[in-house]
Amino acid sequence: MLRYVADIDVRAVTAAVRLQSFPPTHPFANISLTDNIVQFVTGRYCDNPLIVRGPGAGPAVTAAGIFADLLRLCGMLSGQQG
């Protein structure tokens, strides 16, 4: 199953986004299209990472957020503060 994955390493101060393939048994492969899933690998959760899964914002909320960002960007580019 292909999924977009963001990887953030706070110690190395790096971030990356990529398309990655997962086997059917992996938690990332078994989410609904509108779900979000986050895996935390830390000093305490290194052998068995902590996974948080739940509903995402959905299309309407995501579209509204993008529209608001575009309006803010247009205001900034035109010299208005917003």
Length of the chain counted residue by residue: 82
pLDDT digits 0-9 by tens, 22-73? 999 998 998 887 889 999 999 999 999 999 999 888 888 889 999 999 999 9
The pLDDT value given to residue 72: 92
Please give the model's pTM, rounded to 2 decimal places: 0.62
The C-alpha atoms of residue 60 and residue 62 are separated, in whole angstroms, by: 5
81 pLDDT exceeds 70?
Answer: no
Burial of 42 per CB tally in 10 Å (0-12, 13-18, 19+)? exposed
